[in-house]
Amino acid sequence: MDIFDKYAGIEQRHRALLSIGGDPFAVRVDRIISATEAMIGGRRTILVGTNNYLGLTFDPACIEAGREVLATDGTGTTGSRVANGTYGRHTDLEAAFARFFDRQKAIVFTTGYQANLATICGLAGPDDVILADADSHASIWDGCKLSPAETVVFRHNDPDHLDKRLTRLADKGQCKLVVVEGLYSMLGDTAPIKEFVEVKKKHGAFLLVDEAHSFGVFGDKGRGVAEAQGVEADVDFVVGTFSKSLGGSGGFAVSDHPKFDLLRLASRPYMFTASPSPATMATVSEALRQIEARPELRTRIWANAEQLHTGLRDLGFTLLAPLSPVIAIRMPDEATAVMAWNRLIEAGVYVNLALPGGTPGGVCLLRCSVSAAHEPAQIATVLGCFAELASELDRLKGQNAA
């Protein structure tokens, strides 16, 4: 038996996908033009699937900050902070995150994925229980697997089910860690964090909220869904990423727990991963300042989200969540979803294709994410391409019915 034989089903499914058109999971971006456009396949393409929520990847101040530090501090740290030491820029950035969230403690990580791994497996020990939302991101599940704690799943966005789970676990485990997301990245729905807070208080549990996709977008100050719902003080741990609103690569976690820094000595993903590069810390520090100084970025992204969400709904598409910067469009089956993705990329619109295995409830969907950098005219162009797609889907539906 060959070591890759176990993936025969994946290989067969991928070949079927390629028979319909291009490979949605191996898109080559030939040249980035701006935060919202790129050259793909020799075609100028509007990007509506990058998670570049505030459009800061091309912010001049962020670029200049990275350029200056690249010249003075070099390309990388070449080791972990435990082994090679902490740069002043690490602690400065952690202090900036603590100030931004009005928290006592902050830790930065090399990736957003690692932030969840390190925080979850570091917090939950062998005598603890993790309770995770059923629609949690892969990084959350892998953090649960890495932890020696028992993991219990509760129904998506269901505080009552969480309450029942905690009631049954009352005499089991020393500590209970509840893990939810602020904005769920696949469907674009938000968690009822206020209700989850009430449940965690009732049972004396701890609450961790992953604000990766909601950071910078939700709340008056951009701190996420917990801020928007007025319950920040009751969230014990907040995890996030640099790779969405901050336009970089890395992650962070913040908390008011006085012993939070013990994770630096107890969490293997933190201890044994090379620390963020100097240029990353510089660009993210500047991006954080931009988010604080420019609340109009949030005004713009919500206006853009409303334009795209309303336009798609009016075209007759089935949208899977209320208004948010993530807009998921249900497709009837896998073949139709792949065909639709190909039609859009051929028309110069890049969106994400999401298929069962990576989607809640096994739905097939096209996933859009808007940016504050999108111009209304770009969104109008995108809607025009979706209108053509809607007409083609209607024709196919009529042919199949006949």
Q: How far is CA 262 from the centre of its chain?
A: 26
Once rounded to an integer, what is the mean pLDDT over residues 48-71? 98
Once rounded to an integer, what is the mean pLDDT over residues 175-196? 98
pTM of the model: 0.97
**CA 341, 345, 348, 349: dihedral to nearest 10 degrees?**
40
Quick: pLDDT tens for 107-145.
999 999 999 999 999 999 999 999 999 999 999 999 999
- Measured CA to CA in angstroms, residue 186 lies from 104, 138, 236 at distances of 31, 12, 25
User: Domain coordinates of the chain in residue numbers?
Assistant: 5-57+295-401, 77-276
Give φ, ψ of 46 to 5 degrees. -85, 130
* Residue 397, helix vs strand vs coil: helix
Token pair of 16 as six digits? 């079927």
Burial class (CB in 10 A: 0-12, 13-18, 19+), 122: buried
CATH of domain 77-276: 3.40.640.10
Percent of the chain topping pLDDT 70: 100
Q: Provide the edge-to-edge strand list for the sheet that holds 364-369.
A: 326-331, 364-369, 352-354
CATH of domain 5-57+295-401: 3.90.1150.10
Quick: pLDDT tens for 211-265.
999 999 999 999 999 999 999 999 999 999 999 999 999 999 999 999 999 999 9
Once rounded to an integer, what is the mean pLDDT over residues 333-344? 96
Residue 402 pLDDT more than 70? no
Please list the alpha-helical segments (H only) found in 177-220.
Answer: 193-203
Question: What is residue 173's predicted lDDT score, i.e. its pLDDT?
Answer: 79
